[in-house]
């Protein structure tokens, strides 16, 4: 297709996918331009007609068009309309699909990590298509092969994949890498795992220096850094406890409030049977510290405390917490660099470790 307005759009949107409608429109138009379905000088219908044909709001179409114009794929001109750009447009080398569980959509680390990977890949000519794996197995879209069929991705990046997601990817025959998960697929092209051994060793040494013997390990999801195993191997008596965010959502306020209520109940019954508490989320920590203050528990005088934390998120509490810190921007860059090597056919390690650091803070 070269000139003239498209009689029928060569793409649509699928509301059963986890991908945002704006992202679907941007990705589908880019693909149609890249593969020649929409050629140089082709005109798209106006905003109102596009919205009607795609079954979305005009606001959604305007956002997508604004992004496509920013990327140089389309040009919007008064009285002319939307025109496919020529030589100045981005020619995508192919598609990389990113898929992650729907329930972690509010997680800062996951969002920044994915955003960094997408940004680096797109800067190097690879279109990144984002989608979500539904939380309930019965939901539409669990057939990964079916979801990805229209994209024909050169690679799938599975972020924090569940066993069900990995099984579906195994069956799909698509090339994929898996990022940060305990389950490991033999068919994955690369396995990215967190490495906090050195950081946790420093935390263990700090605890020992202050006479800690009993540790309570508190977590809200199993995909985080496993502090309990390392501390147990270091000779500490470790008890694990899971706190489920209120309403099941991992939004900061839900996590923090759940920790506050949990520790409020525990401290109402008496002192904790632990010398230190380690949290796998800094908002869990903030909620627990509020409960400690209510019950007159002093940190670190009465109990030692440490948490895993995200660099770049900023402080979630007025005191400087002792923490195992992860850097989603740096980690995303590391992962993207390895993916680019793989996509270019260069030799790439089968396993990539992304390191955390220990920051002593005031509470350990």
Longest dimension (CA), the chain: 78
Alpha helices (H) along 79-215 = 108-123, 144-148, 163-172, 197-209
Q: Is the peptide bond before 300 cis (omega within 30 degrees of 0)?
A: yes
Over the chain (364 residues), what is each successive 10-residue block's mean pLDDT?
A: 53 73 85 78 88 93 89 80 67 85 77 91 86 66 62 90 87 91 88 93 96 95 80 96 80 90 97 96 94 96 95 84 95 96 92 93 93
Query: CB of 363 within 8 A of CB of 292?
Result: no
The pLDDT of residue 18: 56
Q: Sort strands 81-84 and 214-219 into parallel, antiparallel or unpaired.
A: unpaired
Q: What 3-state DSSP class applies to 239?
A: strand
Q: Is the CATH number 3.10.129.10 carried by domain 94-188? A: no
Q: Are 54 and 61 in contact (CB under 8 A)?
A: yes
Confidence at residue 37, expressed as pLDDT on a 0 to 100 scale: 80
In this predicted structure, what is the pLDDT of residue 191? 95
Phi, psi of 58 (to 5 degrees): -65, -30
Equal CATH topology for 21-84 and 197-327: no
Quick check: 120 and 337 in contact, CB under 8 A? yes
Give the pLDDT confidence score for residue 3 in this predicted structure: 45
Q: Which residues of 189-224 are buried (b: 16+ CB within 10 A; e: fewer)?
A: ebbbebebeebbebbbebbeeeebeebbbbbbbebb
Q: Does domain 21-84 have CATH number 1.10.1040.10?
A: no
Report pLDDT for 2.
40
Which CATH class for the 197-327 domain?
A: alpha beta
Q: What ranges do the domains of the chain cover?
A: 21-84, 94-188, 197-327
């Amino acid at each position: 297709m070269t000139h003239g307005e498209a009689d029928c759009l060569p793409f649509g949107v699928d509301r059963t996918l986890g991908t945002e409608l704006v992202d679907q429109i941007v990705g589908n138009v880019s693909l149609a331009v890249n593969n020649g379905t929409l050629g140089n000088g082709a005109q798209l219908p106006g905003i109102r007609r596009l919205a009607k044909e795609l079954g979305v709001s005009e606001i959604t179409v305007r956002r997508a068009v604004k992004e496509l114009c920013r990327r140089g794929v389309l040009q919007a001109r008064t009285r002319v309309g939307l025109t496919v750009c020529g030589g100045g447009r981005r020619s995508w080398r192919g598609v990389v699909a990113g898929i992650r569980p729907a329930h972690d959509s509010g997680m800062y680390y996951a969002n920044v990590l994915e955003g960094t990977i997408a940004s680096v890949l797109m800067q190097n000519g690879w279109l990144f298509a984002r989608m979500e794996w539904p939380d309930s197995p019965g939901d539409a879209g669990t057939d990964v092969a079916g979801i990805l069929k229209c994209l024909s991705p050169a690679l799938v990046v599975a972020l924090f994949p569940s066993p069900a997601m990995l099984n579906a990817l195994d069956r799909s025959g698509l090339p994929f890498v898996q990022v940060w998960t305990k389950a490991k697929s033999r068919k994955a092209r690369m396995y990215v795992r967190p490495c906090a051994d050195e950081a946790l060793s420093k935390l263990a040494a700090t605890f020992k220096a202050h006479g800690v013997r009993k540790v309570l390990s508190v977590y809200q999801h199993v995909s985080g850094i496993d502090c309990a195993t390392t501390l147990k191997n270091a000779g500490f008596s470790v008890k694990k406890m899971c706190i489920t965010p209120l309403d099941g959502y991992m939004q900061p306020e839900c996590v923090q409030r759940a920790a506050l209520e949990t520790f409020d109940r525990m401290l109402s019954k008496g002192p904790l049977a632990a010398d230190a508490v380690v949290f796998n989320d800094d908002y869990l920590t903030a909620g627990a510290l509020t409960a400690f203050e209510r019950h007159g528990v002093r940190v670190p005088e009465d109990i030692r405390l440490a948490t895993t934390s995200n660099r770049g998120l900023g402080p979630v509490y007025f005191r400087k917490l002792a923490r195992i810190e992860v850097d989603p921007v740096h980690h995303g860059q590391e992962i993207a660099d390895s993916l680019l090597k793989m996509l270019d056919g260069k030799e790439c390690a089968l396993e990539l470790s992304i390191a955390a650091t220990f920051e002593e803070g005031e509470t350990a």
